[in-house]
């Protein structure tokens, strides 16, 4: 089996333990991963802390940081295919998706390379005539980054890129499920020439590695992507060091289709929104809200498209839907579909795991009209679409907002004024109109409610990795009077 190592303080090393990584397409081990425990975490954080305050990174200018990021971007682009194949092998995400996504990841690093020397302070027009006062933006400190297994190189880029631009150092915990691409990415960090300790990448389990990282006294900020329950553990652990947090969590995103929409276009977007990445996306459009007058027509169109999807090996460029990442994810999807059908929801298509090797599950559509189905409330993280209908705009808004999550949403309509009303009414961090799943390094994304707080992407993300220092400079040459002499 292939062997991988941690990257700590500019060197590759084994952890205190090792564990096998499972190929989701076969269900068999294919590689061995290093397991970080508390001592490994401490070594990584100490290296990051030293690099921030004592090493070469502390003397690196913003322009030099930008040049290093440009070099990293070029290396990501040059190695995109190898990274894509590793991500596909270790997570089951199909090669046509990983290839396209990782090629675009290079643009995120280029964007933040350009941002590095544009993070500015400000001069304050203070109300005291003998004072000059200004704000400096400085790195927030050592950042702990906890990244999930889905879209691992993308979800790390939206953290690593802005944090490096801001001048931070970091410890990145790759998910124990499919860490290979991030551990390999460490080689590009090394080749790009970042000083030792600036970026440390390791993997391990939540109870031993993740908890130790979140509570470490020298961690100043925690950037996490994952589920709300894990986020609660992270926030509780951060009570030890009072680290600030940015949390990009789950979703039950509404995908709203009105009768006047281009139905073919909307159907294609819905298929991409729920079945791409085998549904393992935080912004998956998992709740279809369709105007009642076109419900049967639109669901019929989706059914035909879902049943035509080519399921196969994730390394085959012809495959359109691959396996789920883990056996427990497949079991979770299976159980939630069964509970929803038992509650009265009607299975339109799919609804079962495939027999044989690997963690495959059929693209599934469930009609939940008039049913309090668990599938409408709980996040699947799998290829399952729940359908409800609505009569008018007010009902569409009510159903869309009937969730504790608020990450993304989609609205399909040709009515411009209605689109603007929906944009204002939907409680979500992203609203796509007549499109879905579009992303850019320029545009921030993040959630409301249980979908977390903070933003990734854009200048907003870089500023999240800074804190302000207020500088007071007295400009008068007159001595400060004795405060205890009354005049």
DSSP secondary structure string for all residues of 281-293 = -TT---EEEEEGG
- Split at pLDDT 50, 70, 90, the class of 24 is very high
**Residue 440 in this model has a pLDDT that exceeds 80:** yes
Query: How many CB atoms sit inside 10 A of residue 285's CB?
Result: 29
SS3 290: strand
**Residue 487 in this model has a pLDDT that exceeds 80:** no
Q: 254-433 in CATH: which number?
A: 3.40.309.10
Tens of pLDDT along 255-311?
Answer: 999 999 999 999 999 999 999 999 999 999 999 999 999 999 999 999 999 999 999
As given in the structure block, the two tokens for residue 83 are 């990274």
How far apart (Å, rounded) are the C-alpha atoms in residues 20 and 326? 13
How far apart (Å, rounded) are the C-alpha atoms in residues 16 and 10? 18
User: Please, what is the Cα angle at 269 between 263 and 274, to 5 degrees?
Assistant: 125
pLDDT at 402: 96
Report pTM: 0.95
Instruction: Please list the active-site residues.
Output: 248
Average pLDDT over residues 91-112: 96
* Architecture field, domain 2-249+447-472: 3-Layer(aba) Sandwich (3.40)
> What are the φ/ψ torsions at residue 93 (nearest 5 degrees)?
-65, 130
Rg (CA), the chain: 24
SS3 4: coil
Tens of pLDDT along 226-243?
Answer: 999 999 999 999 999 999
% pLDDT > 90, the chain = 96
Helical spans, DSSP H, in 60-94: 62-78, 80-91
Asked whether the CA dihedral 308, 275, 438, 149 is positive or negative, the reply is: negative
- Every domain range in the chain assigned CATH 3.40.605.10: 2-249+447-472
How far apart (Å, rounded) are the C-alpha atoms in residues 339 and 327? 18
Residue indicated by tokens 């470490």: 216
**DSSP assignment letter at 54:** T
How far apart (Å, rounded) are the C-alpha atoms in residues 440 and 112? 12
pLDDT at 223: 98
Residue indicated by tokens 């799943």: 437
Check if the beta carbon of residue 343 is closer than 8 Å to that of residue 376. Answer: no
% pLDDT > 70, the chain = 100
Query: How many CB atoms sit inside 10 A of residue 157's CB?
Result: 29
Tens of pLDDT along 406-432?
Answer: 999 999 999 999 999 999 999 999 999
Helices 62-78 and 152-166 pack at an angle, to 10 degrees, of 160
Alpha-carbon 12 to chain mean position: 26
Check if the beta carbon of residue 44 is closer than 8 Å to that of residue 51. Answer: no
How far apart (Å, rounded) are the C-alpha atoms in residues 448 and 408? 9
**Residue 16 in this model has a pLDDT that exceeds 90:** no
For the chain, give the longest Cα–Cα distance.
92
Average pLDDT over residues 357-376: 96
pLDDT at 55: 86
How far apart (Å, rounded) are the C-alpha atoms in residues 227 and 381? 10
As given in the structure block, the two tokens for residue 212 are 């130790």
Average pLDDT over residues 194-211: 96
Average pLDDT over residues 162-181: 97
- Split at pLDDT 50, 70, 90, the class of 15 is confident
The H or E element that residue 33 is part of is: strand 28-35
pLDDT at 1: 85
As given in the structure block, the two tokens for residue 18 are 């090792």
Check if the beta carbon of residue 113 is closer than 8 Å to that of residue 73. Answer: yes
- Split at pLDDT 50, 70, 90, the class of 48 is very high
SS3 11: strand
pLDDT at 111: 98
pLDDT at 486: 82
- Every domain range in the chain assigned CATH 3.40.309.10: 254-433
């Amino acid at each position: 089996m292939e062997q991988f190592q941690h990257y700590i303080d500019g060197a590759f090393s084994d952890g205190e333990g090792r564990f096998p990584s499972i190929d989701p397409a076969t269900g068999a081990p294919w590689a061995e991963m290093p397991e970080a425990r508390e001592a490994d975490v401490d070594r990584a954080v100490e290296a990051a802390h030293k690099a921030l305050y004592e090493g070469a990174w502390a003397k690196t200018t913003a322009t030099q940081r930008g040049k290093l990021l440009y070099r990293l971007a070029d290396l990501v682009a040059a190695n995109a295919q190898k990274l894509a194949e590793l991500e596909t092998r270790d997570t089951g995400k199909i090669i046509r998706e990983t290839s396209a996504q990782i090629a675009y990841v290079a643009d995120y690093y280029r964007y933040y390379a350009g941002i590095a020397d544009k993070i500015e302070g400000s001069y304050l027009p203070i109300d005291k005539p003998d004072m000059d006062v200004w704000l400096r933006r400085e790195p927030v400190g050592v950042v702990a980054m906890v990244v999930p297994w889905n879209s691992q190189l993308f979800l790390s880029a939206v953290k690593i890129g802005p944090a490096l631009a801001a001048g931070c150092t970091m410890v990145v915990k790759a998910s124990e499920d499919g860490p290979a691409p991030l551990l390999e990415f460490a080689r590009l960090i090394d080749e790009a020439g970042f000083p030792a300790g600036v970026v440390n990448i390791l993997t391990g389990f939540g109870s031993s590695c993740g908890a130790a990282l979140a509570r470490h006294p020298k961690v100043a900020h925690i950037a996490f992507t994952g589920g709300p329950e894990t986020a609660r553990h992270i926030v509780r652990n951060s009570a030890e060091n009072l680290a600030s947090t940015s949390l990009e969590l789950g979703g039950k995103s509404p995908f709203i289709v009105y009768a006047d929409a281009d139905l073919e276009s909307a159907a294609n977007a819905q298929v991409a929104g729920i079945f791409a990445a085998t549904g393992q996306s935080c912004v998956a459009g998992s709740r279809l809200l369709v105007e009642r007058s076109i419900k049967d027509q639109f669901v019929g169109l989706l059914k035909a498209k879902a049943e035509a999807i080519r399921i196969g090996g994730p390394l085959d460029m012809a495959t359109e839907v691959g396996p789920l990442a883990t056996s427990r994810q497949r079991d979770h999807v299976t159980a939630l579909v069964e509970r929803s059908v038992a509650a009265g929801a009607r299975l339109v298509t799919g609804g079962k795991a495939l027999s044989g090797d690997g963690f495959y599950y059929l693209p599934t559509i469930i009609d939940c009209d008039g049913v309090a189905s668990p599938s409408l409330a709980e996040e699947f993280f799998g290829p399952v679409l729940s359908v409800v209908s609505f009569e008018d705009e007010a009902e569409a808004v009510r159903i869309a907002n009937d969730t504790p999550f608020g990450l993304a949403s989609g609205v399909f309509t040709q009515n411009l004024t209605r689109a603007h009303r929906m944009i204002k009414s939907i409680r979500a961090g992203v609203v796509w109109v007549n499109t879905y799943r579009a992303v850019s390094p320029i545009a921030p994304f993040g959630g409301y409610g249980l979908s977390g707080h903070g933003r990734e992407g854009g200048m907003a993300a870089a500023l999240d990795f800074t804190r302000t220092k207020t500088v007071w400079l007295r400009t008068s040459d007159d001595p400060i009077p004795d405060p205890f002499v009354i005049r």
